[in-house]
Amino acid sequence: MYTAMFLIAGILVISASRQSHQAVMSIPIPVHFTGEYSQGGGEWQMLDTETDLSSYNGAVTLRGRFDTELLEGAEIRFYLNHIGVDICRDGEILYESSHEKFPDMCGSTWVSWVLPSASPEDVLEIKLYNPHGFGNRDAYNQFLDSIYIGGDVVMKNYFERQSLPYKATSIFILVVSIALIGTAAGYRLLRLPGNSLLLKSGLMSLMMGVYMYLDAKDISLWSGQMAFNTYARRLAMMGAAWLMGACVNELLHGKRRKISEIAVYVLMLTDFVLMVVSLAGAKGIYDTGIYWAAVQGAVSLLLLVLTVMDAKDGGKRRGLMQPSAIVLLTVLLLELVNSCTGWWRGGICIKIIFTVLFVFHLARAAWLVAKNQQDSIRAEKLREELKNSRIVLAMSQIRTHFVFNILNAISGMCEYDPQKADETLVMFAHYLRSNINIMEEDEPEAFTKSLEHLEKYVFLEQVRFGEKIQFAKNIEADNFKIPPLVLQPLVENAIRHGLLHKKQGGTVILHTWEENGDSIIEISDDGVGFDMANAPGQESVGMKNVRFRLKYMVGGTMDIKSTPGQGTTVTITIPGKHKIQKTE
């Protein structure tokens, strides 16, 4: 036990001492070059920190000294972004880029150079030249800003800490994108909708994550495969841009979608041709960038115009996806313009905007999942309430006194009209079966089915009360659905509280029609009516259930109007989406 404790303590001490040593030595020493410069064979000018050297304006010759005293054998590191560099002293070449072969030249890399014997008075001449004409305008300034003294371990530790947030973000995007691709594959296996856009979004995020990771400044410190890094980064960038267009295509509709499909296919063919050309050695992958940018810019501009037009014509059905696509396409176009002008460090804007939108949509997706879960709980609760209301309504229509009165009426008819007694008994049996079946119904039913059930009820009431109850229909529309047990409670209210309080009885009229695409049901009676101003503050349980079922099953509304001595009118509005499409 004590041995283990001493061993652990020893490991901790050694680890602490190493970390302390690394803390002292893990920061490379920055070196600045001071002196003068001449670009394109022009006049010599003073070099300072504000000097803007465009790599598009020809080669630059620097003449001067490093501002830090350099000892013989010092290991100097500098960063080359697709440029070449030659370092001379008194005509002697101290360092020369190996750029004759394409793989060695094409790339962004950290170069290690061991300084030979030197003195503080030595004047160095550095020649910077750009073999490309596209995409690396600020490469000369990057070279001047990225000169350090430090060994391999020191440089790796320092820049790894510098790029840790950037790499962590790209790894996070990679992990989430793989999850999105897996989810899309699951959707496809289950044949669920939306898998195509989800898959393309996942692949776009994967390509963007790879591009961001490989574009980290310290990547060449860990991998010396310059050509591989360049090809992989370029391929990831082209793939991400193409998949962005493919995702935008999924958001468009009609003719615009067909146009965008052609544009996306043209872009894919262009990417393929340029990659084949560069792999065949006909042209460097970096030098094909100008052609790619031209085609990508034209396609992105077209997609941007199509997306804006589609959004104006009702793109709200896609929620926030289309605005996000518009933002990404706009930023991509700006980045393509910047690749020629060098306004800012290439790719930084698209990375920031993409990351912000990626995190936003991921957070929104998590919120929607939580919200949908809550909605599903509420929906389950609502289904239970609808079920209970359905049972309450169904049972309320089989009241004990109603059943006894019908049976007594049938019993009396058996003596003087056996045939009518048999007909009434069959109708009563059908009525009871319909009520029992309704207890198991969870969905709206055809209006015609509700009407059949209502007619059975009216028939039975007419058996009881004879000509005191009249029923009339004016059916102008019947191709829609309503919740079960909506018509009968309303007609029953009209009979019980309207007609039966008049000595001579009265008439209930059922009228249906279409209005502004909606289906309208009107149930009116010429009974005693009531004063709505003095009506009770709360509706009966039956009316509450009817209103509840109308609202949550079909989104319908119910309006009641009544005049004392004239009668009551109930108007139900059923939204047009619940119409039944008639087949020829």
Calpha distance 368→385 (Å, rounded)? 25
Q: What average pLDDT does this structure show over 260-276?
A: 93
DSSP string, 15-83: HHHHHHHHHHHSSPEE--EEEEEEETT---EEE-TT----GGG--EEEEEEESS---TT-EEEEEEES-
116-118-122 Cα angle (round to 5): 130
pLDDT at 26 over 60: yes
- Give the per-residue pLDDT at 379: 63
**pLDDT tops 90 at residue 522:** yes
Q: Which range is most confident: 15-29, 356-370, 478-492?
A: 478-492
Full DSSP string of 188-212: HHHT-TTHHHHHHHHHHHHHHHHHH
Average pLDDT, stretch 114-129?
80
Short-list 315, 327, 316, CA closest to 357 = 327
- Supply the pLDDT for residue 4: 39
Provide the H-helix boundaries in 35-149: 102-105, 139-145
Q: How far apart are CA 346 and CA 136, in angstroms?
A: 8
Q: What are phi and psi of 100, to 5 degrees?
A: -65, -35
Q: pLDDT tens digits for 302-323?
A: 999 999 998 887 645 556 888 8
- The answer to whether 522 and 487 have CB atoms below 8 angstroms apart is no
What are the φ and ψ backbone dihedral angles of 470, each rounded to 5 degrees? -115, 145
327 or 432: which leads in pLDDT: 327
The end-to-end CA distance of the chain, in Å, is 89
Predicted local distance difference test score (pLDDT) of residue 388: 58
Count other C-beta atoms under 10 Å from residue 372's C-beta.
11
Q: Is the pLDDT of residue 190 over 90?
A: no
Determine the pLDDT at residue 241. 92
pLDDT at 20: 42
8-state DSSP, 177: H
Integer Cα distance of 410 and 395 in angstroms: 21
Q: What pLDDT is attached to residue 346?
A: 56
- Name the band, by pLDDT with cuts 50, 70 and 90, for residue 345: low
485 closest CA partner among 577, 392, 406: 392
Across 126-135, average pLDDT:
80
Going from the C-alpha of 226 to that of each of 153, 339, 544, the distances in angstroms are 19, 21, 75
Closest CA to 162 of 268, 28, 298: 28
Q: Is the dihedral of CA 177, 244, 324, 250 positive or negative?
A: negative
- Residue 415: per-residue pLDDT: 77
C-alpha–C-alpha distance, residues 322 and 251, integer Å: 7
Query: Residue 75, Cβ neighbours under 10 Å: how many?
Result: 16
H-helix or E-strand containing 24?
Answer: helix 2-25
Q: Report d(CA 284, CA 218) in Å as an integer.
A: 23
Helix, strand, or coil here: 475? strand
What percentage of the chain exceeds 90 in pLDDT?
Answer: 22
Q: What's the pLDDT tens digit per position in 419-438? A: 888 888 888 787 777 766 76
Strand partners, 80: 109
Mean pLDDT, residues 203-214: 91
**CA 98: distance to chain centroid?**
47
C-beta separation of 304 from 248 below 8 A: no
* pLDDT tens digits, 238-266: 999 999 999 999 888 889 999 999 999 99
Long-range pairs for 529-535: beta carbons < 8 A, 24 or more residues apart: 529/498, 529/562, 529/563, 529/564, 529/565, 529/566, 529/567, 529/568, 530/497, 530/562, 530/564, 530/568, 531/562, 531/564, 532/560, 532/561, 532/562, 535/562
CB atoms within 10 A of CB 348: 12
Res 162 pLDDT > 60: yes
How distant is the alpha carbon of residue 32 from its chain centre? 47
Residue 483: name the closest of 582, 555, 411 by CA.
Answer: 555
* Integer Cα distance of 134 and 274 in angstroms: 15
Q: Is the pTM of this model over 0.75?
A: no
How many other CB atoms are found less than 10 A from the CB of residue 85?
19
Give pLDDT, residue 534: 76
CB 438 within 8 A of CB 549: no
Rounded to 10 deg, the angle between the 254-279 and 226-251 helix axes is 170
Q: What average pLDDT does range 379-385 have in this prediction?
A: 64
DSSP secondary structure letter of residue 582: P
Nearest to 53 by CA among 132, 126, 139, 130: 139
Q: Within its chain, how far is the Cα of 97 from the centroid? A: 47
